[in-house]
Amino acid sequence: MEQTKTLKLVPELSDEKLKGLYQQMWLIRYFDEQVDQFFAKGLIHGTTHLAVGQEATAAGACALLSDEDKITSTHRGHGHSIAKGGRVDKMMAELFGRTTGYCKGKGGSMHIADLDKGNLGAMGIVGGGIPLAVGSALTAHMKKLDYVTVCFFGDGASNEGSFHEAVNMASIWDLPVVFFCENNQYGMSGNVSEMTNVEHIADRSAAYGIPGVVVDGNDIIEVINATYEATERARRGEGPTLIEAKTYRWKGHSKSDAKKYRTREEEKDWRDNRDPIKRFKEDLLEAGIATEDELETIKQAAKQEMDEAVEFAQNSPMPSLDELLTDVYA
């Protein structure tokens, strides 16, 4: 294949790794699109928060993390779980309320965790994962362990007290944590510009004496580079970094959101012109890393994995009434 450009990656990644990330981004999108359809048909109950359009943030931030490294997630966390090595069959089974799910079908969409892969869990409480991430980083610091914790949170969580208290503590103790803000432009139903009086959420890093970095959250290369530099800094004992990845959720805040607070023209612009998967595909083609046919095969492999996950979930058993009070602690 003729190479016309070079990807501006700071860490060295193999072509196979990059193609694997492309497949992972499709898997994240297919998962949330399937969940959206199942909720619309009444096959899944409760609520869910989808991250269609935000695939580059999860895949890019977790691209170079090991199983020993930790993450904390949010109510919009399916992509984080997949990017950290989670099994989509067990995730889908969880949403279907089946015993083969990550929480035996009792946690649903907002509580998926996988400690073997370093996923400390999603949080239904806005900003709830931020203090947990600092606790994880404090453990690594006190026990002299070589892992980093990446803390995902949304733009809305940056206005919570937990954010400021946790970032301050991590800063004064130089803890190995990366605060990763997925700024998808809207805190539930209000534009971020109505919720904060700073141009960039990353500007708040100045108050705590740590680096603040703004990246295009729909450009996976930018996300990988920024997260790599932040995690390496943390591993050297130089403390936390605040990364703000500007992105966009194509769907509503939750399944019941009619999105009356934004225009269809705005949504179309983000879908047509800033699709993170489309952009990464163009990067791979222009760099000569893969052909159109190869990328189509990769896309279909992700679709096949998703279809198999759905079949696994639908064929898994429901919990019995005898299990109603198991795993419940007083």
- Low-confidence residues of the chain, pLDDT below 50? 1-2
- What six digits make up the tokens of 234? 């943390």
Say which DSSP state 208 is in. G
- What six digits make up the tokens of 133? 């991430």
Residue 144 lies in a domain: yes
Residues contacting residue 102 through CB under 8 Å, at least 6 positions apart = 86, 90, 91, 93, 94, 112, 113, 114
Residue recorded with tokens 């610091």: 141
Residue 7 lies in a domain: no
- pLDDT value at residue 4: 59
Residue 258 lies in a domain: yes
Residue 316 lies in a domain: no
Residue 26 lies in a domain: yes
Q: How far apart are CA 97 and CA 197, in angstroms?
A: 42
- pLDDT value at residue 58: 98
**In CATH, what number is assigned to the domain containing residue 188?**
3.40.50.970
Q: How far apart are CA 311 and CA 92, in angstroms?
A: 9
Say which DSSP state 99 is in. T
- Strands 177-183 and 241-246 turn out to be parallel
Residue 329 lies in a domain: no
| DSSP three-state, residue 71 | strand
- What six digits make up the tokens of 148? 């980093």
- pLDDT value at residue 1: 45
> Domain total for the chain?
1
Q: How far apart are CA 162 and CA 129, in angstroms?
A: 9
Which among 110, 155, 129 is positioned nearest to 248, based on CA atoms? 155
| pLDDT 10s digits, 216-272 | 999 999 999 999 999 999 999 999 999 999 999 999 899 888 888 999 999 999 999
Residue 264 lies in a domain: yes
- What six digits make up the tokens of 266? 């705005």
Residue by residue, DSSP assigns 212-273 as: EEEEETT-HHHHHHHHHHHHHHHHTT---EEEEEE---SS-SSTT---TTS-HHHHHHHHHH
- pLDDT value at residue 11: 93
Q: Which domain holds residue 191?
A: 15-310
Residue 322 lies in a domain: no
